[in-house]
Amino acid sequence: MCDWAIGSDTGGSIRIPAALCGVVGFKPEFGSSDVAGVIPLSPSLDTLGPMGPDMATVKRAFEQMSGSSVKLPGSGWKPRLAVPAGWVEGLDPEVERAWRAVAHGLPEIEFLDRLSLFRPGLTILMVEASAYHRMWATEKPEKYGADVLELIRRGFEIPEDQYRAAVAVAPELRAAVREAMKDVDALVLPATAIVAPTRTAGIEVREPLARFTRPFNLSHQPVVALPAPTRGLPVGVQVVGCTNELALASAACSKPIGLASNRPNESRDDHRPFREVTERHEGHAT
């Protein structure tokens, strides 16, 4: 239907649908894509990025969106990848199977506690969303999805000092993230804890869907969501860098962890190594 699409990501809304649909999604580093003219949800966290069938398309789309040129390393470069210790838990059986295959052999590194990033990020999102959307959410609540409306309404109840504390601690957490990643190029972890829920699912699925995505909105890090090899419903894996170039390069060179292409025009059982659909990068890298 189209070569690529644009998404906004404040807590995972590029990476989650990409993961659940078996395509590639890229949440760029905060501030590296222009959000002017976009209705905000949380200005401190909002980002815009592309979704597409493969890494080459997503890289090209981001360059068009940002007006920048992303230089990827040559074929001999191998990213230093690691899993944040203590983060990955509570996966459903399909995600667990795919994750074990992807994570096999990857080292763990000490990293910030997941909730130390998740909770202040959620506080900032809810307060800023409620400030901007208060009038519409009050007068025309039917215009909002139930899950988004709940976040906005919860923001009405958060004390100002709690919001100020979350904003104040954010720079310290971002600095701590960079320090923790000084010896690795990217983190690898699941995009979601569950596969796509049924249409009748309620707001109870929001937490397992955003469990591993929301922390990286607060940290402002760039993240690529990639399809993992699976024979069931799609499962996504995140590759988290500290710069756009490192995130994209680490994702494009992820053959060692067996990430698949899962392009829409391929059989669900055709799991070519991810490197096969990214090799064409090397001829176009600038």
Q: Is the pLDDT reported for residue 259 higher than 80? A: no
For 216-226, the pLDDT digits (tens) are 999 999 999 99
- Return the pLDDT at 162: 98
Domain ranges in the chain are: 5-112+172-284
Please list the alpha-helical segments (H only) found in the chain: 15-21, 55-66, 93-103, 114-139, 146-156, 160-180, 206-210, 215-218, 244-252, 280-284
Per-residue pLDDT band for 76 (boundaries 50, 70, 90) equals confident
pLDDT at 282 over 70: no
* β-strand pairing of 5-9 with 186-190: unpaired
| 275 pLDDT above the threshold of 60 | no
Q: What is the mean pLDDT of residues 73-87?
A: 92
Residue 263 is encoded by which pair of tokens?
């392009």
pLDDT of res. 257: 57
Reply yes or no on domain 5-112+172-284 having CATH 1.20.1070.10. no
How many Cα atoms sit within 13 Å of 233 on the Cβ side? Answer: 17
Using alpha carbons, select from 207, 231, 188 the residue that is nearest to residue 94. 231
